[in-house]
Amino acid sequence: MSTPPVRRRTASHEVSAALLRAAETVLDRDGSDAVTIRAVALAAEVSPTSVYNRFQSKDGLIVALAMRTLAQLAEAIDVPVDLAPQERFRQSCRNYRDFALRHPARYALIFGSGSPLEDQSSEVADAGRAVFTILSGLIGAFTTVATERDLAESAQAVWSAIHGSVTIEQAGIGQTPDLGSTFEHVLDLLTDGLTA
């Protein structure tokens, strides 16, 4: 008597996950403007009603994709603790760059103009703050700062530098011949500045 409801709930969860994967496929292939109820239904080979019932609107899809992308980014930059603090920070930044270059549409969705992060009271903003907290923690582990506020300023400055690096690289407008090597130069500059 208890088994069927459990089974049904599991199935529903699996359908939602499959629809979200389909939405991500559309996002990666065609960009966020193309992520519509209809396009996701087509990609998932289900009816538009099935997508609508779970995500309600294009905005619902975008929020779910932003949450998924921020979780992926958090996982990518949360480097194992078996490295020295400064090298752990550097590896985390390299993983951030790799994530952005591998998934440009997902990256633009969360950090480009029109990002759902802009609404500071949303669940997406909470997920964004969680990623920022990982970065702050990595920086705090090898720097001495007077206050939490100073640590947040440093983390924002670091995020600006790595965000700028990857967006310039994505746009193909860098002025140096090897942007991978320039990224290491950015990390040198940041670690020198943070420990000066």
- Sites for a copy of itself among residues 171-190 (CB under 8 A): 171-176, 179, 181-182, 185-186, 188-190
Q: Which helix (H) or strand (E) holds 71?
A: helix 58-77
By CB under 8 A, tell whether 118 contacts a copy of itself. Answer: yes
Encode 122-160: b = buried (16+ Cβ within 10 Å), e = exposed: eebbebbeebeebbbbbbbebbebeeeeebeebbeebbe
For residues 19 and 139, give the distance between their C-alpha atoms in angstroms, rounded to a whole number: 37
Count how many Cα atoms sit within 13 Å of the Cα of residue 73 in the half-sphere of its side chain.
Answer: 31
> Least separation, in Å, of the C-beta of 99 and a copy of itself?
15
Nearer to a copy of itself, 54 or 97 (CB): 97
- Sites for a copy of itself among residues 10-49 (CB under 8 A): none
Nearer to a copy of itself, 88 or 116 (CB): 116
> Least separation, in Å, of the C-beta of 131 and a copy of itself?
9
By CB under 8 A, tell whether 144 contacts a copy of itself. Answer: no
By CB under 8 A, tell whether 162 contacts a copy of itself. Answer: yes
Rg (CA), the chain: 19
For the record, the structure tokens of 3 come out as: 């088994």
By CB under 8 A, tell whether 145 contacts a copy of itself. Answer: no
By CB under 8 A, tell whether 61 contacts a copy of itself. Answer: no
- Classified as helix, coil or strand, 2 is coil
Contact residues toward a copy of itself (CB under 8 A) are 108, 111-115, 117-118, 128-129, 132, 152-165, 167-168, 170-176, 179, 181-182, 185-186, 188-194, 196
